């Protein structure tokens, strides 16, 4: 068994970060089109390959950023990010860069996979569960702390401050950060809420109270059992808040929990030592003024592929 990791990349998380991190004026094609998100993404990927030395690599995509089954359970889910046409609010100059990025990944031979009806998080959760460990998940999405599992092992490389300042999170790091075990993170997030996802949480229950409840009762099942037990010792005010949120607590965990059973095709995950289509890669790099970042990623992949396991 290899002791080098499978690197699972949350592609939307990174290309949004790249788009806002690299000024448009600093990265344009010869025709003036911005390629800042693509340039930033390729450079992030090169940095990750150099620093983590994976022997396998997959990028996960959002084929459905707001799945109907989640919205049916919780209509507020990501509702604040809906565009008038029903799609996601995406910056006008980012949208055309995503197909270019996918063309480049295909030319490199790096698999980029999504699934109808599922978010990138769900693809990451499924691959982290089904593929041989060790696994390292790269994302700026807090929901993915729930994937951390020392027994496999699965780690989250949390890029809240960028890929050069990754927070490399195992179970002790999750507990230090939030006061709950990684396996209970989804229950904790359900209680606390998350405005960035339109997740209301239980009114009056913040991060510390949510962590205390999870710590005391083990998770939502235990908390709901305590709610039904007059002798459980729940403070009256907290009992009233939880009781008022019972309908929300019945559906929100399914929304927050990352799916781990997404139907995905078999994937060739091995790190490509050389580009799958060098001619196409060269043509795209020339056309879009991306020779530098393409070369850096080619070099990083070659170095990682020849390094000792």
Please write the tens of the pLDDT for every residue from 22-66: 999 999 999 999 999 999 999 999 999 999 999 999 999 999 999
Same domain, 15 and 72: yes
| 69, part of any domain | yes
Indicate whether 170 and 187 sit together in one domain.
no
User: Is residue 1 one of the residues assigned to a domain?
Assistant: no
* pLDDT value, residue 160: 83
The answer for residues whose C-beta is within 8 angstroms of residue 56's C-beta and 6 or more apart is 4, 5, 6, 7, 131, 269, 270, 271
Q: Which tokens in the block code for residue 9? A: 């990349």
Q: Answer whether 215's CB lies under 8 Å from 180's CB.
A: yes
pLDDT at 1 > cutoff 60: no
Write down the pLDDT at residue 309.
46
Indicate if the pLDDT at residue 308 is higher than 80.
Answer: no
User: What confidence tens digit (pLDDT) does each residue in 271-284 have?
Assistant: 999 999 999 999 99
Whether the per-residue pLDDT at 2 is higher than 70: the answer is no
Do 105 and 170 lie in one domain? The reply is yes
The number of domains in the chain is 2
> What percent of the chain clears pLDDT 90, i.e. is strictly above it?
90
What is the predicted pLDDT for the residue at 86?
83
**Which of the pair, 216 or 160, is modelled with greater confidence?**
216
pLDDT at 306: 85
DSSP state of 193: -
- Give Cβ neighbours of residue 27 (< 8 Å, ≥ 6 apart): 34, 35, 36, 38, 39, 40, 289
Which residue in 177, 171, 256 sits closest to 220, CA to CA?
A: 256
Q: Which of 256, 275, 293 is the last residue of a domain?
A: 256
Q: Does 83 score more than 90 pLDDT?
A: no
User: Which two three-digit tokens encode residue 59?
Assistant: 């990028």
Q: Residue 290: which CATH number?
A: 3.40.50.1010
Q: Is residue 292 part of a domain?
A: yes
57 contacts: CB under 8 Å, gap ≥ 6: 6, 7, 9, 49, 110, 111, 269, 271
- The C-alpha atoms of residue 125 and residue 60 are separated, in whole angstroms, by 10
- We report the CATH number of the domain holding residue 247 as 1.10.150.20
pTM, full prediction? 0.95
- Regarding whether 284 and 187 lie in a shared domain, the answer is no
**Is residue 191's pLDDT more than 90?**
yes
Q: Are residues 57 and 186 in the same domain?
A: no
Q: Dump pLDDT digits (tens) for 3-16.
A: 899 999 999 999 99
């Amino acid at each position: 068994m290899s002791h080098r990791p499978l690197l699972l990349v949350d592609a939307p998380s990174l290309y949004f970060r790249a788009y806002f991190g690299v000024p448009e004026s600093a990265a344009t094609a010869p025709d003036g089109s911005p390629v800042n998100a693509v340039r930033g993404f390729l450079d992030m990927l090169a940095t990750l390959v150099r620093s983590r030395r994976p022997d396998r690599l997959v990028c996960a995509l959002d084929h459905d950023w707001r799945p109907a089954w989640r919205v049916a359970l919780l209509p507020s889910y990501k509702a604040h990010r809906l565009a008038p046409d029903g799609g996601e609010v995406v910056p006008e100059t980012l949208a055309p860069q995503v197909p270019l990025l996918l063309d480049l990944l295909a030319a490199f031979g790096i698999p980029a996979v999504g699934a109808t009806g599922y978010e990138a998080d769900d693809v990451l959760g499924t691959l982290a569960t089904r593929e041989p460990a060790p696994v390292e998940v790269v994302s700026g999405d807090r929901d993915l702390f729930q994937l951390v599992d020392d027994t496999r092992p699965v780690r989250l490389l949390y890029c809240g401050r960028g890929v050069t300042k990754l927070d490399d999170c195992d179970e002790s790091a999750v507990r230090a950060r939030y006061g709950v075990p990684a396996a209970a993170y989804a229950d904790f997030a359900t209680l606390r809420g998350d405005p960035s996802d339109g997740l209301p949480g239980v009114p009056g229950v913040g991060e510390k109270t949510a962590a205390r409840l999870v710590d005391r009762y083990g998770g939502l099942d235990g908390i709901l059992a305590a709610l039904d037990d007059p002798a459980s010792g729940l403070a009256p005010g907290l009992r009233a808040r939880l009781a008022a949120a019972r309908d929300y607590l019945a559906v929100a965990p399914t929304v927050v929990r990352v799916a781990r059973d997404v139907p995905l095709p078999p994937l060739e995950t091995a790190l490509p030592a050389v580009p799958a289509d060098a001619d196409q890669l060269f043509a795209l790099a020339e056309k879009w003024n991306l020779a530098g970042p393409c070369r850096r990623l080619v070099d990083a992949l070659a170095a990682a592929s020849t390094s000792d396991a």
